[in-house]
Structure 1
């Protein structure tokens, strides 16, 4: 269960004039919809590595479940959010960053210039988002399906994790037709109707059969070879 979330806007411009912050409020609205019972903290800070590190440490050390940052992920000399995030996290979650980048590239090649980082500090998941409202909307849609599950994993909430895994398993849409009732697969007898053999005995049987084969070869054209089975020993 997600109990507390922080949204940090990192921008020199927005720090001087809060009214110019559009990406932070956008994330906050998404969080309110996704985790309506969670306590939400929002702040705006300048592009200063020491300040970013301090706030990330503060929120994670006060046991917040999730910290989302927006801004400071580009290539300018003042864009230091990734460096600050890497300095405080204990474990990186690179696939989140990859997913965000891939989603962004569907809309603009400029997405490859973002250096967003995602990782875990103590029991807090930290994710960097870009600084524009449009990019934030796209990025949040990417990570939205996994946030609750990721936080359950971080907190070792095993019952919640199993519940999510089961839901995903049985809601998976398979395009192959089968008469097997997958909801009863786990209830099937687990014993094989065939006798169990030691590995050495099994290899001996296979070897005895193979010894009876007579090796030969035949040269055929490519068209004549269609439909044939080739055995290579």
Structure 2
């Protein structure tokens, strides 16, 4: 079974065409490196607008059956950064450990990581994970949290995700 994986870039500049989207491609690149099970990206590029972000997440989860959705951008403290609020608005369960781990790993690199507001949550059979906007930070954060993602997808009834253990060791409890 091929897994649909949503990749949402949240950026006023990229959505208007004045800035090249580097976040979405960075997510796809990491997924291409670590996943060995079949998957296909379902990409979206939206402005920093809470309702547009929420509508996009709902579409990917409910209509496009994305078992996993990554967002990039909109997680800082700026007035236009509203990705976590949109994520919380559409999720029925929040998973704060994702954001905690991403901030912990990022803080080892840069002190401003404390300003990051990444989070994750469940909407039906979809796991939504907010990532930062910089490609190097995306990679760092994805590799930090991805070991837990395949089991989370199992628990919500999604397709089985298998990783290349040499690049990312997914954890599933024995039995």
* TM-score, L = length of structure 2: 0.86
Structure 1: 5+ residue runs without aligned partners? 168-233
State the Cα distance separating 1:54 from its structure 2 match.
0.2
> d(CA) in 2 for partners of 1:137 and 1:32?
12
* TM-score, L = length of structure 1: 0.66
Count of equivalent residues: 164
- 1:222 — aligned with what? none
- 1:145 — aligned with what? 147
- 1:35 — aligned with what? 35
1:53 aligns with 2:61: no
Aligned with residue 79 of structure 2, among 49, 68, 77:
77
State the Cα distance separating 1:17 from its structure 2 match.
2.0
SS class of match (2:66)? coil
Structure number with the higher strand fraction is: 2
Structure number with the higher helix fraction is: 1
State whether residues 125 and 158 of structure 2, in contact with CA within 8 Å, keep that contact through their aligned partners in structure 1: no
Rate the CA distance shift 1:164–1:117 in 2: closer, same or farther, 3 A. closer
Q: Which has the larger radius of gyration?
A: 1
- 2:165 — aligned with what? none
Instruction: Give RMSD over aligned pairs.
Output: 2.2
State whether residues 2 and 151 of structure 1, in contact with CA within 8 Å, keep that contact through their aligned partners in structure 2: no
SS class of match (1:66)? strand
> d(CA) in 2 for partners of 1:42 and 1:135?
19
State the Cα distance separating 1:166 from its structure 2 match.
1.9
Structure 2: 5+ residue runs without aligned partners? 163-170
Aligned with residue 130 of structure 1, among 125, 129, 132:
132
Higher relative contact order (CA 8 A, sep 6+): 2
State the Cα distance separating 1:18 from its structure 2 match.
6.9
